[in-house]
Structures are given as C-alpha cells and as structure tokens.
Structure 1
Amino acid sequence: MSLLAGPADAQAPLTTQAPPRASASQQVAHRNVLLLIMDDQNTDLGIYGAPVSTPNVDHLAREGVRFQPAYTQFPICGPTRASFLTGLRPNTIGPGAAFERFRCTLPDVVTLPQYFRQNGFFTARVGKVFHQGVPKDIGTSGDDDAQSWDQVVNPRGVDKDLEGQVHNLTPGIPGLGRANSWLAHNAPDTDFTDGKVADGAIAMLQANKSRPFFLAVGFYRPHVPEIAPAKYFAQYPPKAMTLAKETPDTLSRVLPIATNSDMMNLGMTEDQQRQMVAAYHASTSFVDAQVGRVLQELKRLGLDRNTVVVLIGDHGYMLGEHGQWQKSLLWEEATRVPMIVRAPGGNVGGVASQTVEMLDLYPTIASLAGLPANPSNEGRSLVSLLQNPAREDWHGAAFSQILGGRSIRTDRWRYTEWEGGRSGRELYDHARDPREQHNLAQDPKYAGIVAQLRARLPQGVVEKRGKKTLSDPQTPKPPLGRYPVPEGCEHLERLTE
C-alpha cells in the first residue's frame, strides 16, 4: 500500500448518513495526525518568500509539500474554523446562525477530530482550534466542540496579565481583539500563552505516544494584541519595515464596500504602520519557535515516522494593502493562507501551484491517515497533488465569502461581488495584476470572464454588508425568529474577534 494512497479526488454530495468507520485491515495503515494552526497567520513566512524569520515552518515545508495558492472559506476566525473542521461550506452550516456554533444548525455533523475519535483515535486539543475570541477567551474553551475531543488543554500565559500595558495604535476601536496593538516583554517564551501551548502539546505527545492520536495544536498569535517576547521584536526594527506598495491613485480605486474601515490605514501614521508590521512579524517568529519545539519532540519520540503533520493559518491578514488592516475582507491578502503537509514517505520539498481551499483539508487528512472518505465532505482530497505537485489537470477554484460579499479565485482570476453585484463587482487578472489594483469588472472586454466566474459562485444567502468599520461588529445580527433557532441556541451572537 502506498503511503499516500487514498480515495479519489471526486467531491461527494452532501449526505446525512453516518460516516464509515475503518475496517480492521484499514486500521493497520492508520497514521497519527498533528494539526498545527497559527491564528490570523498570512503567508508572510520565510518559505513563502517574505522577509520574516520562520526557520521551523520553512524546514517543515522542505520536508513536505507547500500549497502555494490556498484559500480560506471565510476570513474570520470562527466561520473558517467551523468550515474546515466540519468539511462544509459556510452556507451549508447556515447563514442564520453564528457559524462557529455550528451544532445549532447541524447538531449531527461529524467534525474532523470527531471522525478520528469515532475510528478509535485518541483526540486532543491544546489551545485554540474551534473558535475562541482572542484575547478574551484565552484560558477558556470558548466556542469549543466537546464531541470532538477526549482531552482539552486551555493554556493561559503572562500575556493575559500584560494586556493593560499594550501600545494601542488604534484607540478608537473598542477591545483588543480588533485593535492594532503590541507589547514587547522580557519574560521567557514559556511564560507566554503560546509557549504554554507548546508545553501542553509536548506533554500530550509524550503521554500518548503508544496509541493512534489526532492532536490539534492551536496557537494564539500573530492575532492581535501582538504581545510577544522582546527578543523577537529585536529582529524587526520598525524603521526597516517596508509598507505596502500603494499610492493615492491605487487607493482611490478601492471600492468603499470592499473595505473594513471608513479610514484608510485606520488613521495610523506611516511610523505606526511600520511598528505594526514589525509587531506582526515578531509574533510570527515567536510562534515559529514554538512550532519548532513541538516538531522537535515529535522527532525525538520517533513519532515523525508515522505522523501526518499539517500546518495552516486559519485565514489571511492584511498589513496595509489597499489601505486595509487585519481580516474580514475578500482581497488576496485576507483570503490566502499558508498550507503545508508532511506525510510519512511522501513528497519532499514539493510546491503545488494549483488553487486549493481549506475545505480540502478534511478529506485529505482522513485519507492520509488511512480512513475511508466521509461522504458529507464538500472539499476535494489533495492526495493526488501530494503525490504529484506538478499535476496540470487539477483545475481548482477557491470560494471565499463574508456577509454581503462572495469571491471566487482561480489560477488566474479573482472575481468578487457585493450583495449579489448590486453594490459592486471586482475582477482582477493575477497574471498581470497580482496586487489586485486594476478592477476590470466594468470593462466590456471582460464581460465573458465575469459571466463565467459569476456562474460558478456557490448559491446561498449573501445578506447585506454591515457598516464597514472595525469599531462595530463586522456582521449584523439577524433578528431572532428570522431563522429557526434550535433549543439551546436562543441567544446566538456573531463573534467577530
């Protein structure tokens, strides 16, 4: 049996039948899974060509396959995690509820870790996997899914005690979950929450090395507030940071509805913008060091020989492109994510240039671990791309959305429409315009392309886009009673941290 053998790539229709369990013969081929999630992490990583020190992520990529154009379904923490962990598109989960509370609309759905649990794996979570608001839910389970886990660990570090000391560059934004803020502190790595996440993951590996496991390790940075050890900040002098390549002309072309604030760059000066870029990169390097600690222990225990390792960000993150910061947008930088897969006996140093989406993770991980396909999955297995990253007949597309907007990304094009096109459309040719600065949607020469891409957008409720400012919730709450509310879900609120 090939180490990368798995079900065909064909997408199965949504079904309510129970997912299959592995047979006794299939169980022999089971492999462990280590899923590493970096919170709000874009592709500003060394291996993706960014001037950021991430030696451990880079090393993992050189031992596996890096998916170059990979995209989130929903560039907000809760909805994207609900999507890739259930294997369902956001509109399938249900637009009338908080996506992160998916059990309220799909009580019987089998999540990715739950599927492994049903097939005899020990499943555990350390840190943020399903939704937790950052920083307010650090140290708690947040909107976790109890049915998915045998054991959970909710670390809490010194950063929680330091929140009152942060340098807030956007004081008009209430709460630290959205504010551009940072703090460098001299405490050691292991005193911070993400250091404790690594500690918990290491302990979990040691305690469960003799049985098949699915271990999800969720780090909390580089999500704001950027609180990290001072030694990582020292690597990124703010004056040396490069700002996004925008001009008054390019900024004037940005559709107002495609922004998340009424103020370009949230009103920050250029020095403040450089400081925020430096803080984001410092936090990234800090998390990379913790990733390295976990991977080192995996290898020390000899578990790397039989463990599938997947590293992802949950969505992208904007650092001044189009005058925008953070997430909740449908630009390239907000929707694109890092995705790295290392499978035992698999491709080494491969780079897949085909367009994939996070929805593809569930069927891929299940297949690599030796489990049969879950027929409810709406994504495609990436196993064939892991076998042959240069495969030319993939023809993939990625679909991303927020309330009020939806977008399709193919290998060449991005098409986005707002409120069904009534409030604006965008078309960008990535072969000539990788920064998405020239909107072609209204050019008659591209009407055919617009029509083709628009026809491929998934159908579903788009809803009206809310007021575009980080000081207010990104998505308006629907009136109670507009959609059926299951028992126990009467007080749903959309969480946007």
Structure 2
Amino acid sequence: MAFPRLRLIGCVGLAVLLYAANFQKACLAEEKRLNVLFIAVDDMNNDLGCYGNTQVHSPNIDRLAKAGTCFDRAYCQFPLCSPSRTSIMTGLRPDTTKVFDLKKHFREVIPEVMTLPQAFEKQGYFTARVGKIYHYGNPGQIGTNGLDDDASWQTRINPSGRDKQEENLIVNHTPKRGLGSSLSFLAAEGTDEEQTDGMVATETIRLLEENKDKPFFIAAGFYRPHCPYVAPKKYFDLYPMQEVPRWKNDFPEVDTAPELAFASNKPWPWLGANSQQLQEAQQAYWATISFVDAQVGRLLDALDRLDLQENTVVVFWSDHGYHFGDHGLVMKQSLFERSARVPLIVVAPGQKEKGTHSGRTVELVDLYPTLTQLCAVEAPSGLPGESLVPLLDNPAATWNKPAITQTRRNKNRMGYSLRNERYRLVTWGEGQHQLYDYNTDPNEKNNLANSPQHAQLLEQLMAELNQRLK
C-alpha cells in the first residue's frame, strides 16, 4: 500500500516545484518592470549641443540624446510653467484643466483626475519627486511644496540651497520686476552641491539608491535655467563675454504680425533692458544650462553605478521654451517657435534605434501615453496625446499629428498655434493671424497670413485647428 503514498508524495513534490518555478518567474517579471527617471528643467530652450547649438556646453544632456531619441520638433501646450506642467502630469490640454495662470490648481476643476505618477503608483510603483515638477514660484517658493499635488507622490523632497540664501547678491537688470520674472543673475561662490539644483541631484541619487530593487517612478525637478540665472562661477567662465551674441534693436517682423504676438514683453523690446544687459543675462542663462547639465550627468552616472540603465526609462523635458532677444522678446508666453518649442529626449531600454533624431511634431501631452505604454501601466481612456513608442523604434515613422500650443492675453483673449513640420498657424481671433513657412523663413520674419497666395493654406490650417480643438 506504500505505492499510492509515494504517488501522493510525488504529486506534492511536483506541486512544490511548479510553485517555486512560478514564484521565480514572477520574481523575474517583477525585476524586469521598467522604472522611470523623469527629469524636468525649468525654462530651458533648445540651446543645447544635441540640438545644434555649438556654443553651449551640454555634454551630459548630449550623452543622454546619444542613448535614445531626441525630438527636434517637440512643443509645449502652454508656454507658462503651471499650465504646461499641469498638462504634462494630467495628460490633458489646458482648455480641459482650465489652468491658465500660476494660481489655479487643477484639482479645483477635475478633482478625480489620475495623474501620471498616480497611474504608476496604482500598479505598485514607488513614486517620488525631488524639487519642482508641478508649479511653484521660482525662486519665491523654493523649499516649499508650492502648488504641488500631494496625491501624486509617496515621497516629496523640497531642497533649498545657497542660491536661495544669497538672493541679496543677485544683479537685477530689470529692478521693477520680481526675481521670478527678471533679467537677473549671480556668478556664485561655492560648490554645485550647495546650490538647490545640486541638492536636487543629491537627493534624487539617494532615492535611486534606496529604491533600486523595486519598480519606481522618480521625478527630478531642476530649478534652472529659470531666472534668476544663478550658477557657480566656473560655469560663467565657459562663456567669455566677447563670444556671447549681442542683439540690435531691429525687428521688421513687428510691421506684419499682430501686436498681441509681442505682448508678452511690456515694455517691448526686452522688458526695457538694453543690448549690453541682455548680453550679460544671456551669458548667465547659458551658464545655468551648463550647471544643470552637470547635475543631469550626476544622475546618469548614478544609473550606471547602480546598474539601472538597462531597465530604466529616462525622460528629459522642459516645461516650455525661452526667448533671448529674438523678436525683441525675452522669456516665454509667446506663440513663436522659441517659446513653444522644448527640448525632449526619451531613452527606453530595448528601443530599436538609439542616438537618433525625430523630426515629427510631438507634444508634451504625448508623454503620458508613451510612458504608460513602455511600462505596461494602464492609462486613463480618452487622453489627447499619442504614444511616441513608434517614433522610438523608427524616428521617421508615419505621423500626421500637429502640435497645438496656446497662451492667454489680458485674461480674456486666447491665442492658439498649430504647428506641423513645415508651417505654423497662429490665431488670436477677430481676423488676427500669423502664418510662417519654416522652409523659407526659419526666423519667423515674414507673416504670410495676409498673403492672397496663402489664403487657401490659411483656411485649411484654421479648419484643422478648429477640428482638433473640439
């Protein structure tokens, strides 16, 4: 009668082996879940080596571009911090979130919305941010939660460094404006690690070290190159003043474009600064780009040291672009190219093409569906963005979606831009339009909106914009 007993023991043994095998398989599947390192910079335009600027020193951001896909025509939804960041984090356009300024919180309008990190947390990810991801005043609210979203994170860290403590040393060429919207700068004493952005890198690295064995969505939000342009002196030394361009006050485009196109700067041009002051601020802006670049390098080095590069998606993005002299403008909130266009780099483990550039017009709202697809995380239905995964595998893949950017004037006039790979249409309503052909006019000097030869094109683009805004 021992034989049946042996059979029973054998069956139990087999069950144990199968359970162990399935457990091991589950563990391996858990190990293979892709992490996300979400790197945000504040007010950075495309003055980077990987975008063709030969003056700016950005070796680490360029290194990131060589590992993934650099999107050459990426655009924000609204060239102002809070509306743009809200769109990125909710995956929704500003006309849905109703966030058009720096005060309203999106949960006042859509309280139950599932943000990008919430979608990851729901799937068992550790979610954390260091620094500025959602909006808060820079530099006024450094060290606080500002207009952050508590529901998005399990851990929040708000560094505050030497730049915040030494604001009394900052040179301000627009003294009637607060530091958060000024042409102001400081070549600082001390080390990178003493600056707020150095602390962002340090704290992010600590989180990577502590959570390297679990799936994570960790966001690192840097404060520069947002004004005031503060960085250690060594980064200013990279840009001798005689090599920094100096603008002349000569902008014939104001004769053909609507006045609203330039209304982001009052007084115009350059908020009242002169060309020498603008040149000094430009040097400082580039210095802060190089300073942030060094902190990005620290993050990339940490990924390598912790053997995380093979299972971590890295995204590098800015909330909007930035003027520095062109069109007589500085900063943001216009619908010209330099304000609407952003640097966007995505590195995904296993992508077929690396070190490539995609010329397709993409939007920051595309990040939500992209990251959830890459990481097999369920996304809410009805998001207006489209996953960029096909462009990671083939940067020239068929892609027919234009980019839509909007901004507001005087709290009652909304302007909209539709940008495809060749043209930009801007409409301010009431027959006030702009139309640029980037094949023949990359610097947006010649507004074609009133040209009879382009009337049909204007009508077609207006119809497409109206259809996509429905």
TM-score, normalised to structure 1, is 0.84
SS of match in other structure, 1:200: helix
1:450 aligns with 2:454: no
Q: Contact conserved, 2:31 with 2:213, CA < 8 A, in 1? A: no
CA contact (8 A) 1:27 1:370 kept: no
Matched, 1:184 2:178: no
Distance 1:36 1:225 in 2: 20
Letter in 1 for 2:421: D
Is residue 123 of structure 2 the alignment partner of residue 119 of structure 1?
A: yes
* Match of residue 403, structure 2, among 398, 405, 413: 398
Greater helix share, structure number: 2
CA distance in 1, matches of 2:249, 2:369: 39
CA contact (8 A) 2:163 2:195 kept: yes
Contact 2:246/2:276 (8 A) holds in 1: no
Partner of 2:419: 409
What is the CA distance between 1:130 and its match in structure 2? 0.6
1:62 is matched with 66
Decide which of 430, 450, 454 is 1:421's aligned counterpart: 430
Flag the 1:246–1:432 CA change in 2: closer, same or farther, 3 A.
farther
Quickly say closer, same or farther: Cα 1:231–1:262, change in 2 above 3 A.
same
Aligned to 2:45: 42
Query: Structure 1 residues 99, 377: closer, same or farther in 2, change over 3 A?
Result: farther
Aligned partner of 1:412: which letter? R
Query: Are residues 29 and 455 of structure 1, via their aligned partners in 2, closer, same or farther at CA, if it must alter by over 3 Å?
Result: farther
Aligned length: 436
Structure 2 counterpart SS, 1:68: strand
1:76 aligns with 2:84: no
Aligned to 1:18: none
User: Do the aligned residues in 2 keep the contact of 1:246 with 1:322 (CA within 8 Å)?
Assistant: no
Matched, 1:436 2:444: yes
Please say which structure displays the higher CA radius of gyration: 2
Distance in 2 separating the partners of 1:330 and 1:248: 16
Residue 29 of structure 1 deviates from its aligned partner by: 5.1
Structure-2 change in CA distance of 1:98 and 1:224 (3 Å)? closer
Output the aligned Cα RMSD.
2.1
User: Which aligned pairs between 1:245-256 and structure 2 lie closer than 5 A?
Assistant: 247-256=250-259
Aligned equivalent of 2:4: none
Q: Distance in 2 between matches of 1:54 and 1:427?
A: 33
| Corresponding residue to 2:152 among 119, 126, 148 | 148
Mapped contact 1:97–1:105 kept (Cα < 8 A): no
Residue number in structure 2 paired with 1:131 = 135
Letter in 2 for 1:82: T
Q: Structure 1 residue aligned with 2:359, among 348, 353, 362?
A: 353
**C-alpha displacement at 1:244, in angstroms?**
5.3
Q: Which amino acid aligns with 1:380?
A: E
Q: Does the 8 Å contact 1:318/1:324 carry over to 2?
A: yes
* Alpha-carbon spacing, 1:62–1:54, altered in 2? closer, same or farther (3 Å): same
Q: Of residues 329, 337, 352 in structure 2, which corresponds to 1:324?
A: 329
Distance 2:35 2:372 in 1: 10
Asked if 1:294 corresponds to 2:299, the answer is yes
Q: Work out which of the residue numbers 379, 385, 395 in structure 1 matches 2:391.
A: 385
- State the partner residue of 1:473: none
Q: Is the 8 A contact 2:251 2:327 kept in 1?
A: no
Measure how far apart 1:201 and its partner are: 0.3
The Cα of 1:170 is off from its aligned counterpart by 1.0
1:97-127 Cα distance to aligned partner (Å, 9 max, x none): 8685100000010000111011100000000
Distance 2:90 2:111 in 1: 11
Q: How many Å separate the matches in 1 of 2:99 and 2:317?
A: 25
1:342-393 C-alpha deviation (Å, 9 max, x unpaired) = 11121211111111011100000111112234313210000000010122x2
2:188/2:231 contact within 8 Å kept = yes
Unaligned runs of 5+ in 2: 1-25, 409-413
Residues 23-34 of structure 1: pairs in structure 2 closer than 5 A: 30-34=33-37
Given that residues 198 and 291 in structure 1 are in contact (C-alpha distance below 8 angstroms), is that contact kept between their aligned partners in structure 2? yes
1:107 maps to: 111
Residue 172 of structure 1: how far off its partner (Å): 2.3
- Which of 85, 88, 101 does residue 92 from structure 2 map onto? 88
8 A contact 2:99–2:105 mirrored in 1: no
Cα distance, 1:348–1:375 mapped onto 2, change above 3 Å: same
CA-to-partner distance for each residue in 1:154-204, whole Å, 9 max, x for gaps?
00000011112111111122x111011001012100000000000010000
Alignment of 1:331-342 (within 5 A): 331-342=336-347
- CA drift of 1:92 comes to 1.0
Deviates more, 1:255-264 or 1:312-321: 255-264
Question: How far off its partner does 1:254 sit?
Answer: 4.5
Match of 2:273 among 254, 257, 268: 268
Q: CA deviation at 1:433?
A: 0.6
Shift of 1:255: 2.9
Name the aligned partner's letter for residue 164 of structure 2: K
* TM superposition shift of 1:28: 7.0
CA distance in 2, matches of 1:96, 1:282: 30
Counterpart-to-counterpart distance in 2, 1:68 and 1:59: 16
Shift of 1:24: 11
CA distance, structure 2, for counterparts of residue 84 and residue 132 of structure 1? 15
Higher relative contact order (CA 8 A, sep 6+): 1
For structure 1, the residue ranges without an aligned partner over 5 or more in a row are: 1-22, 462-497
Deviation at 1:252, TM superposition (A): 4.2
Q: Is the 8 A contact 1:81 1:100 kept in 2?
A: no
Does structure 2 conserve the Cα–Cα contact (< 8 Å) formed by 1:239 and 1:271? no
**CA offset at residue 457 of structure 1?**
2.1
Identity of matched residues, %? 45
